[in-house]
Amino acid sequence: MERPPLLPRTVLTLAATAALIAPAAVVYGAERSPQAPAASWSLKWNPASGASVASAFEGAEDDRADSHPGVTHIYPYQDGFRTDIHYPKDVDTSTDRQRQEVRGMKQDGSAVKILKNETWRIQYQMYVPDTLDATTGFTHIMQIKVGDVAAPLFTMSLHQHSDGPKVEMRTSDDDDNLTEAGAANMAPVQGKWSDVSVEVKAADSGAYADWSVTTDGREVASYKRTGLDLWRGKNYLRPKWGIYRSLNSSGLQNTYLLTRNFKAYKLQ
Protein backbone atom coordinates (compact mmCIF):
# COMPACT_ATOMS: atom_id res chain seq x y z
CA MET A 1 0.00 0.00 0.00
CA GLU A 2 1.40 3.34 -0.98
CA ARG A 3 2.08 5.74 1.91
CA PRO A 4 0.72 9.25 1.63
CA PRO A 5 3.40 11.90 1.00
CA LEU A 6 4.56 13.96 4.00
CA LEU A 7 3.12 17.39 4.31
CA PRO A 8 5.63 20.26 3.99
CA ARG A 9 5.17 21.30 7.66
CA THR A 10 5.96 17.76 8.82
CA VAL A 11 9.18 17.74 6.79
CA LEU A 12 10.29 21.01 8.36
CA THR A 13 9.50 19.76 11.87
CA LEU A 14 11.56 16.58 11.45
CA ALA A 15 14.49 18.52 10.04
CA ALA A 16 14.48 20.92 12.96
CA THR A 17 14.31 18.03 15.43
CA ALA A 18 17.32 16.35 13.80
CA ALA A 19 19.29 19.59 13.99
CA LEU A 20 18.62 19.81 17.72
CA ILE A 21 19.57 16.21 18.39
CA ALA A 22 22.83 16.14 16.40
CA PRO A 23 24.80 18.73 18.42
CA ALA A 24 23.81 17.02 21.65
CA ALA A 25 25.31 13.79 20.40
CA VAL A 26 28.58 15.58 19.67
CA VAL A 27 28.68 17.16 23.15
CA TYR A 28 28.04 13.91 24.98
CA GLY A 29 30.65 12.13 22.94
CA ALA A 30 33.40 14.72 23.51
CA GLU A 31 36.41 13.91 25.73
CA ARG A 32 36.64 15.70 29.06
CA SER A 33 39.85 16.72 30.80
CA PRO A 34 40.45 14.67 33.97
CA GLN A 35 39.78 16.57 37.19
CA ALA A 36 42.50 16.87 39.83
CA PRO A 37 41.73 14.91 43.00
CA ALA A 38 40.43 16.96 45.89
CA ALA A 39 43.01 17.93 48.50
CA SER A 40 42.92 15.84 51.65
CA TRP A 41 44.64 15.68 55.03
CA SER A 42 47.03 12.80 55.62
CA LEU A 43 47.96 11.81 59.19
CA LYS A 44 51.76 11.92 59.55
CA TRP A 45 52.33 11.97 63.31
CA ASN A 46 50.40 10.37 66.13
CA PRO A 47 52.51 9.15 69.08
CA ALA A 48 50.96 6.24 70.91
CA SER A 49 49.46 6.64 74.35
CA GLY A 50 52.21 5.90 76.86
CA ALA A 51 55.01 6.70 74.39
CA SER A 52 58.34 7.83 75.77
CA VAL A 53 59.57 11.39 75.27
CA ALA A 54 62.40 10.08 73.07
CA SER A 55 60.06 8.12 70.78
CA ALA A 56 57.48 10.91 70.35
CA PHE A 57 59.72 13.96 69.91
CA GLU A 58 63.02 14.79 68.22
CA GLY A 59 64.50 16.03 71.46
CA ALA A 60 63.93 17.48 74.92
CA GLU A 61 65.35 20.66 76.43
CA ASP A 62 65.14 19.41 80.01
CA ASP A 63 67.23 21.70 82.21
CA ARG A 64 69.87 22.15 79.54
CA ALA A 65 71.82 24.50 81.87
CA ASP A 66 71.93 21.78 84.58
CA SER A 67 70.49 24.24 87.10
CA HIS A 68 68.42 21.55 88.85
CA PRO A 69 70.44 18.33 88.56
CA GLY A 70 68.97 14.95 89.35
CA VAL A 71 65.39 16.02 88.50
CA THR A 72 63.45 15.00 85.39
CA HIS A 73 61.22 17.86 84.27
CA ILE A 74 59.60 16.33 81.15
CA TYR A 75 58.17 12.82 81.30
CA PRO A 76 55.24 10.56 80.30
CA TYR A 77 52.25 11.19 82.52
CA GLN A 78 49.01 9.21 82.44
CA ASP A 79 48.20 9.03 78.68
CA GLY A 80 50.33 12.02 77.65
CA PHE A 81 53.22 14.12 78.90
CA ARG A 82 53.93 16.43 81.82
CA THR A 83 56.33 19.37 81.92
CA ASP A 84 57.35 20.70 85.36
CA ILE A 85 59.08 23.98 86.06
CA HIS A 86 60.41 25.14 89.43
CA TYR A 87 60.73 28.77 90.43
CA PRO A 88 63.34 30.12 90.80
CA LYS A 89 65.47 26.97 90.69
CA ASP A 90 65.17 26.11 86.99
CA VAL A 91 67.20 28.57 84.91
CA ASP A 92 68.03 28.34 81.21
CA THR A 93 71.45 28.95 79.65
CA SER A 94 70.24 32.54 79.28
CA THR A 95 69.77 33.27 82.97
CA ASP A 96 66.90 35.74 82.56
CA ARG A 97 64.49 32.96 81.58
CA GLN A 98 63.25 29.42 82.24
CA ARG A 99 62.81 26.71 79.63
CA GLN A 100 61.54 23.13 79.78
CA GLU A 101 60.38 22.04 76.31
CA VAL A 102 60.19 19.17 73.85
CA ARG A 103 60.90 19.88 70.19
CA GLY A 104 60.02 18.32 66.85
CA MET A 105 57.92 15.33 65.88
CA LYS A 106 59.13 11.75 65.54
CA GLN A 107 57.23 8.84 63.99
CA ASP A 108 58.65 5.31 63.83
CA GLY A 109 62.11 6.61 64.68
CA SER A 110 62.29 9.31 61.99
CA ALA A 111 61.81 13.07 62.20
CA VAL A 112 58.58 14.41 60.73
CA LYS A 113 59.54 17.61 58.89
CA ILE A 114 57.48 20.60 57.80
CA LEU A 115 59.07 21.65 54.50
CA LYS A 116 58.78 24.72 52.29
CA ASN A 117 55.35 25.37 50.70
CA GLU A 118 53.72 22.61 52.72
CA THR A 119 50.53 23.07 54.73
CA TRP A 120 50.17 21.27 58.07
CA ARG A 121 47.57 21.03 60.80
CA ILE A 122 48.74 20.16 64.32
CA GLN A 123 46.17 19.15 66.93
CA TYR A 124 46.54 18.18 70.57
CA GLN A 125 45.03 18.66 74.02
CA MET A 126 46.49 20.72 76.85
CA TYR A 127 45.77 21.29 80.53
CA VAL A 128 46.82 24.66 81.93
CA PRO A 129 46.68 24.71 85.77
CA ASP A 130 45.88 27.85 87.73
CA THR A 131 49.56 28.02 88.77
CA LEU A 132 50.63 28.61 85.15
CA ASP A 133 49.97 32.33 84.93
CA ALA A 134 50.07 34.94 82.21
CA THR A 135 53.07 37.24 82.59
CA THR A 136 54.06 40.75 81.60
CA GLY A 137 57.15 39.26 79.97
CA PHE A 138 56.88 36.31 77.60
CA THR A 139 55.43 32.92 78.48
CA HIS A 140 55.19 30.56 75.49
CA ILE A 141 53.51 27.16 75.80
CA MET A 142 53.76 26.18 72.12
CA GLN A 143 56.08 27.38 69.35
CA ILE A 144 56.93 26.70 65.71
CA LYS A 145 60.55 27.40 64.83
CA VAL A 146 63.25 26.80 62.24
CA GLY A 147 65.55 24.50 64.19
CA ASP A 148 67.08 26.23 67.19
CA VAL A 149 67.88 29.54 65.50
CA ALA A 150 66.28 32.98 65.57
CA ALA A 151 62.87 33.92 66.93
CA PRO A 152 59.91 31.54 66.69
CA LEU A 153 57.69 31.97 63.64
CA PHE A 154 54.58 31.23 65.71
CA THR A 155 53.83 31.01 69.43
CA MET A 156 50.87 30.41 71.69
CA SER A 157 51.53 32.68 74.64
CA LEU A 158 50.11 33.63 78.03
CA HIS A 159 50.34 37.40 78.34
CA GLN A 160 49.20 39.79 81.05
CA HIS A 161 47.39 42.71 79.39
CA SER A 162 46.08 45.86 81.08
CA ASP A 163 42.59 44.33 81.08
CA GLY A 164 43.63 40.94 82.43
CA PRO A 165 45.42 37.69 81.55
CA LYS A 166 45.11 36.53 77.95
CA VAL A 167 45.98 33.57 75.77
CA GLU A 168 47.11 34.72 72.33
CA MET A 169 49.09 33.85 69.23
CA ARG A 170 52.20 35.65 68.02
CA THR A 171 53.85 35.55 64.61
CA SER A 172 57.21 36.95 63.51
CA ASP A 173 58.38 38.67 60.35
CA ASP A 174 61.67 38.18 58.52
CA ASP A 175 63.39 40.53 60.99
CA ASP A 176 62.19 38.42 63.95
CA ASN A 177 59.70 41.05 65.15
CA LEU A 178 56.78 39.38 66.94
CA THR A 179 53.20 40.59 66.45
CA GLU A 180 50.46 39.71 68.94
CA ALA A 181 47.01 38.71 67.69
CA GLY A 182 43.80 37.03 68.82
CA ALA A 183 44.13 37.78 72.55
CA ALA A 184 41.30 36.08 74.46
CA ASN A 185 40.46 35.80 78.15
CA MET A 186 42.58 33.13 79.77
CA ALA A 187 40.10 32.08 82.48
CA PRO A 188 38.20 29.50 80.34
CA VAL A 189 41.50 27.75 79.54
CA GLN A 190 42.80 27.26 83.08
CA GLY A 191 41.86 24.20 85.11
CA LYS A 192 40.35 22.28 82.17
CA TRP A 193 41.43 20.22 79.20
CA SER A 194 41.36 22.20 75.96
CA ASP A 195 41.64 21.17 72.31
CA VAL A 196 44.25 23.12 70.35
CA SER A 197 44.51 23.36 66.55
CA VAL A 198 47.31 25.14 64.69
CA GLU A 199 47.31 25.15 60.89
CA VAL A 200 50.24 26.73 59.06
CA LYS A 201 51.47 27.10 55.52
CA ALA A 202 55.28 27.22 55.44
CA ALA A 203 56.17 29.70 52.71
CA ASP A 204 58.17 32.86 52.03
CA SER A 205 55.01 34.71 51.02
CA GLY A 206 51.32 33.93 51.10
CA ALA A 207 51.75 31.90 54.27
CA TYR A 208 49.19 31.86 57.04
CA ALA A 209 48.62 30.70 60.61
CA ASP A 210 45.17 29.58 61.77
CA TRP A 211 44.90 28.95 65.53
CA SER A 212 42.05 27.95 67.82
CA VAL A 213 41.47 26.74 71.39
CA THR A 214 38.26 24.92 72.32
CA THR A 215 37.18 24.16 75.89
CA ASP A 216 34.04 22.21 76.87
CA GLY A 217 32.99 22.19 73.22
CA ARG A 218 33.15 26.00 72.96
CA GLU A 219 35.75 27.91 71.00
CA VAL A 220 37.35 30.26 73.52
CA ALA A 221 40.19 31.65 71.38
CA SER A 222 40.89 31.79 67.66
CA TYR A 223 42.63 33.86 65.04
CA LYS A 224 43.75 33.45 61.43
CA ARG A 225 46.54 35.66 60.13
CA THR A 226 47.34 35.71 56.42
CA GLY A 227 50.04 37.24 54.24
CA LEU A 228 52.83 35.97 56.49
CA ASP A 229 56.41 34.91 55.85
CA LEU A 230 56.73 31.54 57.60
CA TRP A 231 59.94 30.31 56.05
CA ARG A 232 63.56 31.24 56.66
CA GLY A 233 65.31 29.48 53.78
CA LYS A 234 66.90 26.64 55.72
CA ASN A 235 66.24 23.23 57.24
CA TYR A 236 62.59 22.67 58.16
CA LEU A 237 59.98 23.84 60.63
CA ARG A 238 59.24 21.99 63.83
CA PRO A 239 56.86 22.63 66.72
CA LYS A 240 57.80 22.84 70.40
CA TRP A 241 55.73 22.28 73.53
CA GLY A 242 56.37 23.08 77.17
CA ILE A 243 57.03 26.19 79.24
CA TYR A 244 59.40 28.91 78.09
CA ARG A 245 59.09 32.09 80.15
CA SER A 246 60.87 35.26 81.16
CA LEU A 247 61.93 35.66 84.78
CA ASN A 248 61.26 39.39 84.47
CA SER A 249 57.70 39.05 85.78
CA SER A 250 56.21 39.13 89.26
CA GLY A 251 54.14 36.34 90.80
CA LEU A 252 55.95 33.40 89.20
CA GLN A 253 55.61 30.06 90.99
CA ASN A 254 56.19 26.34 90.59
CA THR A 255 53.92 25.06 87.85
CA TYR A 256 53.41 22.45 85.12
CA LEU A 257 51.75 21.80 81.75
CA LEU A 258 49.98 18.63 80.59
CA THR A 259 49.67 17.63 76.92
CA ARG A 260 48.22 14.58 75.17
CA ASN A 261 46.56 13.21 71.99
CA PHE A 262 49.06 14.71 69.55
CA LYS A 263 48.31 14.51 65.81
CA ALA A 264 49.86 16.21 62.78
CA TYR A 265 48.28 16.17 59.32
CA LYS A 266 49.81 17.22 56.01
CA LEU A 267 47.66 18.63 53.20
CA GLN A 268 48.20 16.37 50.19
Q: Decide if 240 contacts 145 (C-beta within 8 A).
A: yes
pLDDT in tens, 132-178: 999 999 999 999 999 867 789 999 999 999 999 999 999 998 888 88
Mean pLDDT of 196-221: 97
Where residue 199 falls among pLDDT bands split at 50, 70, 90? very high
CA distance 142 to 241: 5
Mean pLDDT of 80-105: 98
Mean pLDDT of 83-92: 98
pLDDT in tens, 22-57: 444 434 444 555 666 678 999 999 999 999 999 999
The class (CATH top level) of 41-267 is mainly beta
User: What is the structure's pLDDT at 12?
Assistant: 41
Task: Tell me how far CA of residue 21 lies from CA of 9, 31, 136, 186, in angstroms.
Answer: 19, 19, 76, 68
Characterize the bridge pairing of strands 178-185 and 237-246.
unpaired
Strand partners, 238: 145
CA distance 205 to 226: 9
Where residue 234 falls among pLDDT bands split at 50, 70, 90? confident
User: What is the structure's pLDDT at 26?
Assistant: 39
User: Residues with Cβ < 8 Å from 209, sequence gap 6 or more?
Assistant: 154, 169, 171, 198, 199, 200, 224, 225, 228, 230
User: What is the structure's pLDDT at 20?
Assistant: 41
Is pLDDT of 259 > 70?
yes
CA atoms within 13 A on the CB side of 61: 19
Give residue limits of the domains in the chain.
41-267
CA distance 164 to 20: 73
Residue 115: φ, ψ to 5°: -100, 170
Running DSSP on this structure, what letter comes out for residue 244? E
Where residue 221 falls among pLDDT bands split at 50, 70, 90? very high
User: What is the structure's pLDDT at 265?
Assistant: 99
- pTM as predicted: 0.85
Percentage of the chain modeled with pLDDT above 70: 86
Is pLDDT of 3 > 50?
no
Which of 79, 48, 47, 230 shows the shortest CA–CA distance to 143? 230
